[in-house]
Structure 1
Amino acid sequence: MLSVSKRALRVGIPSRRSTSIVSTLRYKSSWSTAVETAARLVTPSSILKDPISLVSHEMSQLAANIGTLIGSGHPTLNRISAYYFESQGKKIRPLLVLLLSRAISEIPLEQRNRIKIDDLDIPEQPVYEGTKSLGAILKEQNGAISPLRILHGINPNIILDPLTKPHETLPEFDSKRGILPKQRRLAEIVEMIHTASLLHDDVIDNSDSRRNRPSGNIAFNNKMAVLAGDFLLGRASVSISRLRNPEVIELLSTSIANLVEGEFMQLKNTVFQPNEDLIEEDTKKIPQPTGAIDTKVHEYSVQAPQSIQGHEITHEQQVDAAFEYYIHKTYLKTAALLSKSSRSAAILSGANEDVIENCYQFGRNVGLCFQMVDDILDYTQTSEALGKPGNADLKLGLATAPILFAWRENPELGELISRKFKQEGDIEIAMEQVQKFNGLVKTQKMAEDYCHKALENLRNVLPESDSRSALEFLTNAILTRSK
């Protein structure tokens, strides 16, 4: 079994005292190194003979597996659905799921007794006279509950298709390392959901590139990109349901809703908005509710602070509320999928509540750290280096952590933030103020804090192992990546 040396683990780990973004340049290769090291733990040993294929082979296997789940009866839909899977993205989400699954498998079975662990985990329904059990139906129909003619609305020409592909027997390499079939499928589902969100995001943001090639909305068109994203979510939903675990189904389905809610929070930009009834730069009034349906927000939302006993809220309170809004929006858009997939991996392993909760917090903290580094890179990297448009956040009018830190020091920036940097020269002023008040350095420090919390989550509940070491290495490398 391949181990990660202590010396390797020290590479890419920034000091808590680090206060300069420039220092990350010393570790610019640590992201690639971390991914390659982690990939060794989920790649058959025969592949390791070819170092160049360490990452590409594992990721191409993931894409190939996903390809078997997303086929449709329309060639153009097939083409755009597979478009983003063809290029080499970070694939950090499925990689974390697989490594976490392996790390949890090091916990003795007698300590993983929350649920019964088996290869299928199919809840049986009552069997009445003259009917077949659910297990028998699934066996006959290769994993589907409904007949294929019902699922497709037409008699299929083949028995196996994307809607009914069963959980295959794992390769010997994976089974020896404790990755369960459903955990492997979980990794594929997570990447499908993430990719669907990218297709939608690129339409919303009017992006022109993704992963160093034209974005889906440019290569095809907006309508096709939106429909392909919807299609991927539909196929992901089928795969989610076939995990046959109600708690995991609930978590993953909610993560899809979280992505949408986070996107709506981003449209608003900050918690302060003069008129909730206006959209599109306050040029369009939305219809008023009729009262037939309760449209009140739930308690798990961020609201703007109100004046207290006639005293207006202070600038400091405004900035604090804006940061709270930013953190929650970041959780919904980025960290929710990571946190809930990490929790799901632990649930499928039968781990106890403490392990499950720490896995959830690990995913949450890693996700927040990941996005904050993205927010830094948007200010510091070129479009060519990122593989997508640079300075996109300010151009879209988004107030991320760097500008919020600058706003705390310079209250006058609030006016630029409220008008979403739309006036000529606003973007240049914002970038200058971010540099002047060390907004990037402060955001880096906040990302480091979340990184250290994620490491604590791992060490709280997971025994020492190669997989945990790789997770720690990957978590640290997130801070020092350059794209």
Structure 2
Amino acid sequence: MDNSHIFSLLEDDLNNLNYNLKSMVGARHPILNAASEHLFSAGGKRLRPAIVILIAKATLNKNNILSSHQRLAEITEIIHTASLVHDDVIDECITRRGVNTVHSIFSTKVAVLAGDFLFAQSSWYLANLNNLNVVTTISKVITDFAEGEVRQGLIHFDPTISIDEYIEKSFYKTASLIAASCKGSAMLSEINYHQENQCYLYGKHLGLAYQIIDDILDIISSSSNLGKPIGSDLKNGNLTAPIFFTLIESAELNNMINSEFENESDIKKAITIIKSSNGIKKAKDLAEEHIQTAIHIINYLCHINQDKYHGLVLMGQYILQRIY
């Protein structure tokens, strides 16, 4: 079943978000302004702000969300985009979402400054929400990003790390923002503390599943669908769920990782090994486990209004269907 129609249900909110983003990230310096324009013209599904809006609609129990919810959705997308700019510099990616990355168009220095600028802009708008609890919750995400990148940098080409360490790193790099923005949206709706935490856990498991699925797609998708070269994680030594599960079966893959893919044909050969193993299936099972946990949390909450929370269930199903 195609669950992508969940975005069409949010079309007006997301169109408003896209319009606002361009004015929010405008910079006085023409180079920074051009970099910001380029980033947001690349589009994307706007998954994270869509989740913020869905939480808002569910917890408010009405279709019209507050202006503070809309602003939080915009802040979430700015923070996410800033992290991608820095990720692309670190991973030396040339394309993202099918378009050239900021550092490949301008320079590494401009890309780093553009990412810093977006983080600063998000912090300013966050402070202007005038809600200390939301500020505290969301601002922690920026430190989590940095910790995630440092952790990833320390374990490049290290096949001895555990799946638990991979999950922890995935939380810092991806799930932290989704979890915190879900909780922040619930806070703005002024629901009770227990329900806020349930929204956080929903976002955490959704985010972990999303990262695992991204890591699977890095192996099984095509460059045109992915918007960047396949096997990028593998080439950069970022070991992910499908790789870990394959290592249990393949000594050859282990040897190639230890040698950091020294031969030109190693990456292509490694992808073939992973595809022919049980690694992809086990990674899919792990992603599905996190999606089912997220949906279970929403089903627990939906006694408030089942119809409104159904959108959050559809979002979980949409994320999972990306690999089927």
Q: TM-score range by the shorter chain?
A: over 0.9
Structure 2 CA distance for aligned equivalents of residues 419 and 348 of structure 1 = 50
| Alpha-carbon contact 1:338-1:363 (below 8 Å) kept | yes
Structure 1 length normalisation: TM-score? Answer: 0.63
Per the TM alignment, residue 270 of structure 1 is displaced from its structure 2 partner at its CA by 6.1
Q: Distance in 2 between matches of 1:420 and 1:397?
A: 7
Secondary structure of residue in 2 paired with 1:347: helix
Residue 326 (structure 1) aligns with = 166
Cα 1:419–1:242 change in 2 (3 A) is: farther
- Counterpart in 1 of 2:321? 480
Q: Note if contact 1:212-1:388 (Cα within 8 Å) is conserved in structure 2.
A: yes
How far is the alpha carbon of 1:416 from its aligned partner? 3.2
CA distance in 1, matches of 2:110, 2:15: 24
On the 8 A contact 1:101/1:349 being kept in 2, the answer is yes
Note the C-alpha offset of 1:358.
0.8
Amino acid at match of 1:332: Y
Tell me the amino acid that sits aligned with residue 120 of structure 2. Answer: G
Instruction: Indicate whether 1:460 and 2:300 are aligned.
Output: yes
CA drift of 1:448 comes to: 0.4
- The Cα shift of 1:377 comes to 0.8
User: What is the Cα deviation at residue 454 of structure 1?
Assistant: 0.5
Pick aligned residue for 2:53 from 98, 112, 117: 98
Deviates more, 1:414-423 or 1:323-332: 414-423
Sequence identity percentage: 36
Residues 321-360 of structure 1: matches in 2 within 5 Å?
Answer: 322-360=162-200
- 2:266 aligned with 1:426: yes
Q: What are the Cα deviations for residues 213-235 of structure 1, in whole angstroms up to 9, with x where unaligned?
A: 11111222211111111101111
C-alpha contact 1:270 1:326 (8 A) present in aligned 2: no
Q: 220-229 or 464-473, which moves further after superposition?
A: 464-473
Residues 291-310 of structure 1 aligned to structure 2 (within 5 Å): none
86-95 vs 241-250, which moves further: 241-250
Residue 203 of structure 1: aligned partner: 89
Whether contact under 8 Å (1:271, 1:322) holds in the other structure is: no
One-letter amino acid matched to 2:7: V
**Residues 1:62 and 2:17 aligned together:** yes
Q: Indicate conservation of the 8 Å contact 1:102/1:177, yes or no.
A: yes
Q: Where in structure 2 are the equivalents of 1:27-66 lying within 5 Å?
A: 30=2, 32-36=4-8, 38-39=9-10, 43=12, 58-66=13-21
Q: Identify which range, 253-262 or 406-415, moves more after superposition.
A: 406-415
Alpha-carbon contact 2:246-2:274 (below 8 Å) kept: yes
User: For residue 142 of structure 2, what is the aligned residue in structure 1?
Assistant: 256
Distance in 1 (alpha carbons) for counterparts of 2:97 and 2:276 = 31
SS at 1:83's partner residue?
A: helix
Gaps of 5+ in 2: none
> Is 1:393 equivalent to 2:279 in the alignment?
no
Runs of 4+ in 1 over 4 A off after TM superposition: 270-273
Distance 1:382 1:436 in 2: 17
Structure in which a larger fraction of residues adopt helix: 2
Could you say if the C-alpha distance between residues 202 and 271 of structure 1 is closer, same or farther in structure 2, counting changes exceeding 3 Å? closer
Tell me the equivalent position of 1:238. Answer: 124
Amino acid paired to 1:90: K
- Range moving further from structure 2, 199-208 or 229-238: 199-208
- Name the CA distance, whole Å, in 1 between partners of 2:260 and 2:178: 29
Give 3-state SS (helix, strand or coil) of 2:152's partner: helix
Looking at structure 2, the residues matched to 329 and 188 of structure 1 have their Cα atoms a distance apart, in angstroms, of 25
The one-letter amino acid paired with 1:269 is: I
2:6 corresponds to which letter in structure 1?
Answer: A
- Unpaired runs of 5+ residues, structure 1, are 1-10, 12-29, 44-57, 107-175, 274-317
Query: What CA deviation, in whole Å up to 9, does each residue of 1:375-424 have, x standing for no partner?
Result: 11111111111112221111111210111001122356444334443444
Counterpart CA distance in 1 for 2:141 and 2:19 is 24
How has the CA–CA distance of structure 1 residues 389 and 272 changed in structure 2, closer, same or farther, with 3 Å as cutoff? closer
Counterpart residue number, 2:110: 224
8 Å Cα contact 2:141/2:176 also seen in 1? yes
Q: Structure 2: how far apart are the matches of 1:76 and 1:429?
A: 41
How large is the RMSD of aligned CA atoms in angstroms? 2.1
Aligned equivalents of 1:206, 1:31: Cα separation in 2 = 33
80, 88, 112: which one aligns with 2:43: 88
